A and B are shown apart, each in its own frame.
Chain A
Amino acid sequence: MNAPALETRGLHKSFGALTVANAVDFRLESGARQALIGPNGAGKTTFVELVTGALRPSAGQINLDGADVTDLPQAARVKRGLVRTFQITALFRGLSILENVTLAICERQGIGGGLFWPAGRYRAAIEEAHALLEQVGLEDEALSPVTTLAYGRQRLVEIAISLALSPKVMLLDEPAAGVPSAESGTIIEVIERLPTDIAMLIIEHDMDLVFRLAQRITVLVQGSILVEGTPEEIAADPEVRRVYLGERPRR
């Protein structure tokens, strides 16, 4: 069996007496479509921050494609293909969406630090960025600043940026959060069409989305994994019902 795309062993984080991640052992296989669910405050976003390197763990190990990345800074993990989107859109607000994506591509190609030639010279990068925007259906607004886009479409830019980084593992933090239901359909479609060789972990509260997209679900409660399984198993599990599914999220 190949090494999993992403794996944590004993991942632990506490702030004083408060434990937000409790010796978590987690596996994400390559090409997986997995969801991470749990009640508010369960530690889902913290988990993402630990895995991506934005937060340093108190203990434990993080493996990316079999290699230990626990001590690597966030940027290095990104270069190895570990990419995330943000729950609250984190884009370069004053820049056009084409530029947002181009920035990501330049970083991936290692030309982000080029001092001498104007950015406009790097046609290939800009065209690739444009192609990505086409892929998510945003090419008409390529030159518009981020701030002029509807929130749902901004979330699509987040996804485009993630794709620009040639991800092997994508962590999508509540991709449809805060998006009116009229627009969330597009987001779901885009996610469904993502390449199958990318391992995907989606953090979500919207159970319709979860059941539609995920082949496997992990339930996180108070920093520990409660149970893992197929959507059917999770839906039927009484523990899960009690802890989480019992509180139906308002849609």
Chain B
Amino acid sequence: MTPSRAVEAFARRHHYRPYEALPWVAAVASYFVFPDYLALGAQILATILFALSADLVLGYAGIVTLGHAAFFGTGAYVAGILAAHGWGEPITGLLAGAVAAAVLGFLSGLVVLRTTGLALLMQTLVVATMVAEAANKASFITGGDDGLQGMEVWPIFGRFRFDLFGHTSYLYCLSALFLCWLAVRRMVHSPFGRSLTGIRENVRRMHAIGAPVARRRLIIYIISAALAGISGGLIAQTTQFVSLSFLSLERSGTVLIMLIIGGVGRLYGAFIGVPLYMVAQNRFSEIDPVYWYFWIGLLMVFIVVFARGGVLGLFDQFQR
């Protein structure tokens, strides 16, 4: 390859490809095609953002965490508490949730990111359990077991009311997801994002080229926490309810499941895994919740053993 061709190819890698418009086209189309399911659709969109945030730490930086729900729940509770105590403006509420989650990400990251592997996994779990317990005990603010009551979210920009049918919710979540996705995509292709891949692939090498590894990991952890906080805030605002389950181990676990179904570390795994999971769960839970647990467990075992790359991985193999 002549110098300019190889360099050109590399330099153009971040350009937008046509297929990247697909999810957005699908999302907008769904608005018109499935008018009865917009509430579920809004949940799916917000959860995609959650999964996307988890993919940043998991798929790109290689930090396996069992406590990501802590950031999700923090964002949800902060946005929810604001709305329940008189400040129902949605966008600032969302930002407040993001900031709170980011602060938690910073503080916990300082502690948790000093280790790797098993020790790190357990520490993320401890942090999440702590936050959940704190929320449980502070029931005078959080509502404890009963959940947060009395949320009143104001219309967006004073005009778009959150109605029962989910029209506003859907578009609200879609816009938030889109903006966040733009930011994430940009970041993933930046030198910072590439260095995360380096950290994941070979940490020793990263140290040996003079990269401030600890700082990078902390930064991505904070960013991911903020995004998770936004997704939690979205769900809180669109359902006008927050409960302790937002902070549970199960929620941390299911986001991992959704990612693995779609494919980890590929930016779009979330877009595939989350809708598949949530729609399936919606269907199955109606029939019999026990069956749901069984089949999803089986699916996970199957994926780990046979289809490690998730749907996108299968797609890759199919192309070859």
Contact = CB atoms under 8 A, between A and B. Distances in A.
Contacts of B202: 90-93
Give the top 6 A-B pairs by smallest Cβ distance, nearest first.
A78-B210, A118-B14, A120-B11, A142-B6, A92-B201, A118-B189
Interface residues of B, number: 36
Interface of A: 52, 54, 74-76, 78-79, 83-84, 86, 90-96, 98-99, 102-104, 106-108, 111-123, 126-127, 130-131, 134, 139-140, 142-143, 161, 164-165
Between B190, B204, B208, B215, the greatest number of chain A beta carbons within 10 A of the residue's beta carbon is seen for B208
A139 B191 CA distance: 22
B3 A115 contact: no
Nearest to A131: B3
Interface string B230-258: 00000000000000000000000000000
19 contacts: A75-B207, A78-B210, A92-B198, A92-B201, A102-B10, A103-B194, A103-B195, A103-B198, A103-B209, A113-B216, A116-B190, A118-B190, A119-B14, A121-B11, A142-B1, A142-B10, A143-B1, A161-B209, A165-B210
A115 B208 contact: no
A95 to B, nearest CB: 7
Contacts of B209: 78, 103-104, 107-108, 161, 164-165
Given A92-B202, A119-B14, A139-B3, A114 B210 contact: no
Contacts of A119: 13-14, 189-191, 193-194
B197 A115 contact: no
A119 B187 CA distance: 10
Interface in B1-19: 1, 3, 6-7, 9-15
Interface of B: 1, 3, 6-7, 9-15, 186-187, 189-195, 197-198, 201-202, 204-205, 207-213, 215-216, 219
A75 B190 contact: no
Contacts of A84: 208
Given A52-B208, A113-B191, A116-B190, 7 more contacts: A54-B207, A114-B191, A118-B14, A120-B10, A126-B7, A130-B3, A143-B6
A93 B7 contact: no
Given A84-B208, A91-B202, A111 B191 contact: yes
Nearest to A52: B208
B197 A92 contact: yes
Nearest to A81: B210
A117 B10 contact: no
A115 B189 CA distance: 9
A126 B198 contact: no
B205 A90 contact: yes
A98 B10 contact: yes
Contacts of A121: 11
A140 B204 CA distance: 27
Contacts of B1: 139-140, 142-143
B13 A120 contact: yes
B7 A123 contact: yes
A84 B205 CA distance: 10
A130 B194 contact: no
